[in-house]
Amino acid sequence: MTETMRSVRQETLGTSEVLNLTDSPIPTPNASEILVKTHAAGVNPIDWKIREFGLWLTPPFGVGWDVSGVVVAVSPGENRFKVGDEVFGLPSFPNEAAAYSEYVAASARHFAPKPQSLDHVKAAALPLAGLTAWQALVTAADVQAGQKVLIHAAAGGVGHLAVQIAKARGAYVIGTASAAKHEVLRELGADEVIDYTAEDFAEAVKDAGIDVVFDLIGGDYEERSLRVLRPGGIYVGATNPLAEAEIKAKAEALGVRGATVNVAPDHADLAQLAALVDAGRLRPLIAETFPLEDVRKAHELSESKHTTGKIVLTI
Protein backbone atom coordinates (compact mmCIF):
# COMPACT_ATOMS: atom_id res chain seq x y z
CA MET A 1 0.00 0.00 0.00
CA THR A 2 1.29 3.47 -0.86
CA GLU A 3 1.35 6.24 1.76
CA THR A 4 -0.92 8.63 -0.14
CA MET A 5 -4.36 8.44 -1.73
CA ARG A 6 -6.63 10.45 -3.98
CA SER A 7 -9.09 12.45 -1.92
CA VAL A 8 -11.56 15.26 -2.64
CA ARG A 9 -10.96 18.22 -0.34
CA GLN A 10 -11.92 21.88 -0.17
CA GLU A 11 -10.03 24.82 1.31
CA THR A 12 -12.93 27.31 1.23
CA LEU A 13 -16.72 27.30 1.04
CA GLY A 14 -18.41 27.87 -2.29
CA THR A 15 -19.68 26.35 -5.52
CA SER A 16 -18.56 22.99 -6.90
CA GLU A 17 -15.40 24.75 -8.13
CA VAL A 18 -13.96 24.61 -4.59
CA LEU A 19 -13.79 20.80 -4.76
CA ASN A 20 -10.28 19.61 -5.57
CA LEU A 21 -8.89 16.13 -6.14
CA THR A 22 -5.69 16.00 -4.07
CA ASP A 23 -3.03 13.59 -2.86
CA SER A 24 -3.57 13.09 0.87
CA PRO A 25 -2.03 10.79 3.50
CA ILE A 26 -3.82 7.48 3.95
CA PRO A 27 -5.42 7.61 7.41
CA THR A 28 -4.30 5.26 10.19
CA PRO A 29 -7.17 3.60 12.09
CA ASN A 30 -7.32 4.51 15.78
CA ALA A 31 -8.60 2.24 18.57
CA SER A 32 -11.91 0.56 17.63
CA GLU A 33 -11.55 1.72 14.02
CA ILE A 34 -11.11 -0.01 10.68
CA LEU A 35 -9.50 1.20 7.45
CA VAL A 36 -11.68 0.69 4.38
CA LYS A 37 -10.53 0.82 0.77
CA THR A 38 -13.39 2.73 -0.83
CA HIS A 39 -14.94 1.30 -3.99
CA ALA A 40 -17.85 3.75 -4.19
CA ALA A 41 -19.13 6.80 -2.30
CA GLY A 42 -22.69 8.08 -2.28
CA VAL A 43 -23.49 11.74 -2.96
CA ASN A 44 -26.19 13.32 -0.78
CA PRO A 45 -27.76 16.80 -0.70
CA ILE A 46 -26.09 17.44 2.65
CA ASP A 47 -22.73 17.09 0.89
CA TRP A 48 -23.20 20.15 -1.32
CA LYS A 49 -24.89 22.10 1.47
CA ILE A 50 -21.83 21.52 3.66
CA ARG A 51 -19.57 22.40 0.72
CA GLU A 52 -21.35 25.70 0.13
CA PHE A 53 -22.41 26.81 3.60
CA GLY A 54 -20.22 24.85 6.02
CA LEU A 55 -23.08 24.56 8.50
CA TRP A 56 -21.31 22.78 11.38
CA LEU A 57 -17.95 22.17 9.61
CA THR A 58 -15.20 24.70 8.94
CA PRO A 59 -12.82 24.22 5.97
CA PRO A 60 -10.43 22.83 5.09
CA PHE A 61 -12.09 19.42 5.13
CA GLY A 62 -12.77 16.31 3.08
CA VAL A 63 -16.24 15.79 1.65
CA GLY A 64 -18.83 13.01 1.84
CA TRP A 65 -20.06 10.23 4.13
CA ASP A 66 -21.57 7.24 2.31
CA VAL A 67 -19.05 4.43 1.77
CA SER A 68 -18.92 0.92 0.37
CA GLY A 69 -15.62 -0.92 0.19
CA VAL A 70 -13.28 -3.57 1.58
CA VAL A 71 -11.57 -3.67 4.98
CA VAL A 72 -7.78 -3.43 4.60
CA ALA A 73 -6.73 -2.84 8.23
CA VAL A 74 -8.25 -3.45 11.66
CA SER A 75 -7.13 -1.83 14.92
CA PRO A 76 -5.95 -4.22 17.69
CA GLY A 77 -8.84 -5.54 19.78
CA GLU A 78 -11.51 -4.77 17.18
CA ASN A 79 -13.34 -8.03 16.49
CA ARG A 80 -16.35 -7.16 14.31
CA PHE A 81 -14.42 -7.27 11.04
CA LYS A 82 -11.33 -8.80 9.49
CA VAL A 83 -9.20 -7.79 6.51
CA GLY A 84 -11.00 -8.64 3.28
CA ASP A 85 -14.55 -8.13 4.57
CA GLU A 86 -16.88 -6.13 2.32
CA VAL A 87 -18.63 -3.37 4.27
CA PHE A 88 -20.85 -0.34 3.83
CA GLY A 89 -21.58 2.47 6.22
CA LEU A 90 -21.98 6.08 7.28
CA PRO A 91 -18.60 6.73 8.90
CA SER A 92 -18.20 9.50 11.49
CA PHE A 93 -21.40 11.43 10.64
CA PRO A 94 -21.89 14.34 11.41
CA ASN A 95 -18.13 14.79 11.85
CA GLU A 96 -15.74 14.84 8.89
CA ALA A 97 -15.37 11.47 7.18
CA ALA A 98 -13.84 12.49 3.82
CA ALA A 99 -15.67 9.62 2.11
CA TYR A 100 -14.76 10.88 -1.36
CA SER A 101 -11.39 9.23 -0.87
CA GLU A 102 -9.62 6.02 -1.81
CA TYR A 103 -9.42 5.06 1.90
CA VAL A 104 -11.56 5.91 4.94
CA ALA A 105 -10.82 5.19 8.61
CA ALA A 106 -13.68 5.23 11.14
CA SER A 107 -15.33 3.36 13.99
CA ALA A 108 -16.10 -0.25 13.13
CA ARG A 109 -19.58 0.33 14.58
CA HIS A 110 -20.36 2.79 11.82
CA PHE A 111 -20.18 -0.07 9.30
CA ALA A 112 -22.05 -3.31 8.61
CA PRO A 113 -21.43 -6.20 6.22
CA LYS A 114 -22.35 -5.13 2.68
CA PRO A 115 -25.58 -6.63 1.35
CA GLN A 116 -24.53 -9.74 -0.56
CA SER A 117 -26.91 -9.03 -3.42
CA LEU A 118 -25.58 -5.54 -4.16
CA ASP A 119 -22.41 -4.35 -5.85
CA HIS A 120 -20.44 -1.53 -4.21
CA VAL A 121 -22.09 1.21 -6.28
CA LYS A 122 -25.59 0.30 -5.11
CA ALA A 123 -24.41 -0.38 -1.56
CA ALA A 124 -22.85 3.10 -1.40
CA ALA A 125 -26.26 4.57 -2.24
CA LEU A 126 -27.84 3.15 0.92
CA PRO A 127 -26.30 4.35 4.19
CA LEU A 128 -27.31 7.98 4.78
CA ALA A 129 -30.57 7.86 2.83
CA GLY A 130 -31.53 4.41 4.05
CA LEU A 131 -30.74 5.17 7.69
CA THR A 132 -32.70 8.42 7.49
CA ALA A 133 -35.74 6.56 6.19
CA TRP A 134 -35.36 3.69 8.68
CA GLN A 135 -34.85 5.94 11.69
CA ALA A 136 -37.87 8.05 10.69
CA LEU A 137 -40.32 5.29 9.84
CA VAL A 138 -39.21 2.52 12.19
CA THR A 139 -37.50 4.20 15.16
CA ALA A 140 -39.59 7.38 15.36
CA ALA A 141 -42.95 6.38 13.83
CA ASP A 142 -42.94 2.60 14.47
CA VAL A 143 -44.89 2.00 11.25
CA GLN A 144 -47.20 -1.00 11.55
CA ALA A 145 -49.00 -3.22 9.06
CA GLY A 146 -52.22 -1.70 7.79
CA GLN A 147 -51.28 1.89 8.59
CA LYS A 148 -51.49 4.60 5.94
CA VAL A 149 -48.18 6.37 5.36
CA LEU A 150 -47.77 9.57 3.33
CA ILE A 151 -44.24 10.23 2.03
CA HIS A 152 -43.29 13.56 0.48
CA ALA A 153 -40.57 13.72 -2.21
CA ALA A 154 -41.16 10.00 -2.58
CA ALA A 155 -38.91 9.55 -5.64
CA GLY A 156 -35.84 11.22 -4.16
CA GLY A 157 -32.78 9.61 -2.58
CA VAL A 158 -34.42 9.12 0.82
CA GLY A 159 -38.00 8.97 -0.40
CA HIS A 160 -37.71 6.01 -2.77
CA LEU A 161 -36.14 3.95 0.03
CA ALA A 162 -38.78 5.12 2.51
CA VAL A 163 -41.54 3.90 0.19
CA GLN A 164 -40.02 0.43 0.17
CA ILE A 165 -39.34 0.32 3.92
CA ALA A 166 -42.91 1.34 4.74
CA LYS A 167 -44.25 -1.21 2.26
CA ALA A 168 -42.03 -3.94 3.73
CA ARG A 169 -43.64 -3.24 7.12
CA GLY A 170 -47.08 -3.78 5.63
CA ALA A 171 -48.20 -0.17 5.30
CA TYR A 172 -50.44 1.37 2.66
CA VAL A 173 -48.10 3.89 1.03
CA ILE A 174 -49.03 7.20 -0.60
CA GLY A 175 -46.25 9.25 -2.20
CA THR A 176 -46.04 12.77 -3.59
CA ALA A 177 -43.95 13.25 -6.74
CA SER A 178 -44.13 14.78 -10.20
CA ALA A 179 -46.07 12.78 -12.77
CA ALA A 180 -42.96 11.58 -14.60
CA LYS A 181 -41.90 9.62 -11.51
CA HIS A 182 -45.21 7.89 -10.76
CA GLU A 183 -44.50 4.71 -12.70
CA VAL A 184 -41.21 4.15 -10.86
CA LEU A 185 -42.88 4.68 -7.50
CA ARG A 186 -45.61 2.18 -8.30
CA GLU A 187 -42.93 -0.34 -9.28
CA LEU A 188 -41.33 0.24 -5.86
CA GLY A 189 -44.63 -0.52 -4.13
CA ALA A 190 -46.47 2.79 -3.70
CA ASP A 191 -50.22 2.20 -3.53
CA GLU A 192 -51.13 5.75 -4.54
CA VAL A 193 -49.09 8.59 -6.03
CA ILE A 194 -50.09 12.26 -5.96
CA ASP A 195 -48.80 14.73 -8.53
CA TYR A 196 -48.04 17.70 -6.29
CA THR A 197 -47.74 19.97 -9.35
CA ALA A 198 -51.35 19.27 -10.39
CA GLU A 199 -53.27 18.89 -7.10
CA ASP A 200 -53.10 19.79 -3.44
CA PHE A 201 -51.92 16.71 -1.54
CA ALA A 202 -53.78 17.86 1.58
CA GLU A 203 -57.06 17.92 -0.32
CA ALA A 204 -56.30 14.57 -1.96
CA VAL A 205 -55.80 12.73 1.36
CA LYS A 206 -58.05 14.74 3.68
CA ASP A 207 -60.41 11.78 4.23
CA ALA A 208 -57.78 9.01 4.02
CA GLY A 209 -57.03 8.76 7.75
CA ILE A 210 -53.26 9.14 7.47
CA ASP A 211 -51.35 7.49 10.33
CA VAL A 212 -47.82 8.68 9.45
CA VAL A 213 -46.40 11.53 7.39
CA PHE A 214 -42.70 11.48 6.50
CA ASP A 215 -41.83 14.98 5.29
CA LEU A 216 -38.68 15.46 3.18
CA ILE A 217 -39.68 18.92 1.91
CA GLY A 218 -40.47 21.12 4.91
CA GLY A 219 -41.68 24.71 4.64
CA ASP A 220 -45.45 24.95 4.35
CA TYR A 221 -45.63 21.17 3.89
CA GLU A 222 -45.08 20.86 7.64
CA GLU A 223 -48.30 22.45 8.84
CA ARG A 224 -50.35 21.14 5.91
CA SER A 225 -49.12 17.61 6.70
CA LEU A 226 -49.92 17.91 10.39
CA ARG A 227 -53.53 18.69 9.46
CA VAL A 228 -54.06 15.55 7.35
CA LEU A 229 -53.14 13.15 10.16
CA ARG A 230 -55.81 11.16 11.96
CA PRO A 231 -56.04 11.82 15.73
CA GLY A 232 -52.94 10.35 17.37
CA GLY A 233 -51.07 10.07 14.07
CA ILE A 234 -47.45 11.14 13.79
CA TYR A 235 -45.57 13.60 11.59
CA VAL A 236 -41.82 13.00 11.17
CA GLY A 237 -39.78 15.79 9.58
CA ALA A 238 -36.31 15.35 8.14
CA THR A 239 -35.50 18.88 6.99
CA ASN A 240 -35.03 20.74 10.28
CA PRO A 241 -34.24 18.49 13.27
CA LEU A 242 -33.53 21.49 15.51
CA ALA A 243 -37.19 22.59 15.23
CA GLU A 244 -38.45 19.50 17.03
CA ALA A 245 -39.83 21.36 20.07
CA GLU A 246 -41.80 23.72 17.83
CA ILE A 247 -43.13 20.86 15.69
CA LYS A 248 -44.18 18.88 18.77
CA ALA A 249 -46.06 21.90 20.12
CA LYS A 250 -47.91 22.43 16.81
CA ALA A 251 -48.74 18.73 16.64
CA GLU A 252 -50.04 18.56 20.22
CA ALA A 253 -52.36 21.50 19.56
CA LEU A 254 -53.89 19.51 16.69
CA GLY A 255 -54.23 16.26 18.64
CA VAL A 256 -51.42 14.49 16.80
CA ARG A 257 -47.75 13.76 17.44
CA GLY A 258 -44.63 15.38 15.98
CA ALA A 259 -41.01 14.30 15.71
CA THR A 260 -37.88 14.99 13.69
CA VAL A 261 -35.10 12.70 12.55
CA ASN A 262 -31.38 13.53 12.65
CA VAL A 263 -29.67 10.57 11.04
CA ALA A 264 -26.99 8.74 13.03
CA PRO A 265 -24.51 5.96 12.13
CA ASP A 266 -25.85 2.68 13.49
CA HIS A 267 -24.50 -0.74 12.52
CA ALA A 268 -27.65 -2.50 13.75
CA ASP A 269 -29.89 -0.35 11.54
CA LEU A 270 -27.51 -0.87 8.61
CA ALA A 271 -27.80 -4.62 9.14
CA GLN A 272 -31.61 -4.32 9.04
CA LEU A 273 -31.37 -2.47 5.73
CA ALA A 274 -29.00 -5.12 4.36
CA ALA A 275 -31.41 -7.86 5.40
CA LEU A 276 -34.28 -6.16 3.54
CA VAL A 277 -32.07 -5.82 0.46
CA ASP A 278 -31.00 -9.45 0.47
CA ALA A 279 -34.63 -10.52 0.97
CA GLY A 280 -35.53 -8.65 -2.23
CA ARG A 281 -37.65 -6.06 -0.43
CA LEU A 282 -35.41 -2.99 -0.78
CA ARG A 283 -33.38 -1.77 -3.73
CA PRO A 284 -31.63 1.55 -4.20
CA LEU A 285 -32.11 3.28 -7.53
CA ILE A 286 -29.02 4.83 -9.11
CA ALA A 287 -29.66 8.09 -10.94
CA GLU A 288 -26.11 8.37 -12.29
CA THR A 289 -22.51 7.45 -11.47
CA PHE A 290 -19.40 9.59 -11.88
CA PRO A 291 -15.70 8.81 -11.53
CA LEU A 292 -14.05 10.59 -8.60
CA GLU A 293 -12.40 13.14 -10.89
CA ASP A 294 -15.87 14.30 -12.00
CA VAL A 295 -17.01 15.11 -8.47
CA ARG A 296 -17.93 18.66 -9.47
CA LYS A 297 -20.39 17.36 -12.07
CA ALA A 298 -21.87 15.01 -9.47
CA HIS A 299 -22.49 17.90 -7.08
CA GLU A 300 -24.02 20.04 -9.82
CA LEU A 301 -26.46 17.25 -10.67
CA SER A 302 -27.35 16.80 -6.99
CA GLU A 303 -28.03 20.52 -6.66
CA SER A 304 -30.44 20.38 -9.60
CA LYS A 305 -32.86 18.43 -7.34
CA HIS A 306 -34.33 16.63 -10.34
CA THR A 307 -32.87 13.14 -9.93
CA THR A 308 -34.71 9.91 -9.22
CA GLY A 309 -32.69 7.83 -6.76
CA LYS A 310 -29.06 8.34 -5.81
CA ILE A 311 -25.87 9.73 -7.32
CA VAL A 312 -22.72 7.68 -6.68
CA LEU A 313 -19.00 8.27 -7.19
CA THR A 314 -16.91 5.30 -8.34
CA ILE A 315 -13.44 5.15 -6.85
State pLDDT tens for residues 173-193: 999 999 999 999 999 999 999
Answer whether residue 306 shows pLDDT above 90. no
The C-alpha atoms of residue 258 and residue 249 are separated, in whole angstroms, by 8
Q: What is the mean pLDDT of residues 54-78?
A: 97
Torsions phi, psi of 106, nearest 5?
-165, 175
Q: Give the residue range(s) of CATH 3.40.50.720 domains in the chain.
A: 129-260
CA dihedral 65, 220, 261, 161 (to 10 degrees): -60
Nearest Cα residue to 139 out of 49, 260, 248: 260
Q: State the architecture of 129-260 in CATH terms.
A: 3-Layer(aba) Sandwich (3.40)
Measuring CA to CA, how many Å separate 52 from each of 47, 246, 285, 298? 9, 27, 26, 14
State pLDDT tens for residues 149-178: 999 999 999 999 999 999 999 999 999 999
Q: What is the pTM of this model?
A: 0.97
The C-alpha atoms of residue 84 and residue 114 are separated, in whole angstroms, by 12
Q: Give the residue range(s) of CATH 3.90.180.10 domains in the chain.
A: 4-126+284-314
CATH class of 4-126+284-314: alpha beta
Q: What is the mean pLDDT of residues 260-267?
A: 97
Answer whether residue 1 shows pLDDT above 70. no
Sign of the CA dihedral 40, 45, 48, 54? negative
Q: What is the pLDDT of residue 305?
A: 81
Answer whether residue 282 shows pLDDT above 80. yes
34 in helix, strand or coil? Answer: strand
State pLDDT tens for residues 3-54: 999 999 999 999 999 999 999 999 999 999 999 999 999 999 999 999 999 9
Q: What is the pLDDT of residue 76?
A: 95
- Judged on CB neighbours under 10 Å (0-12, 13-18, 19+), 178 is middle
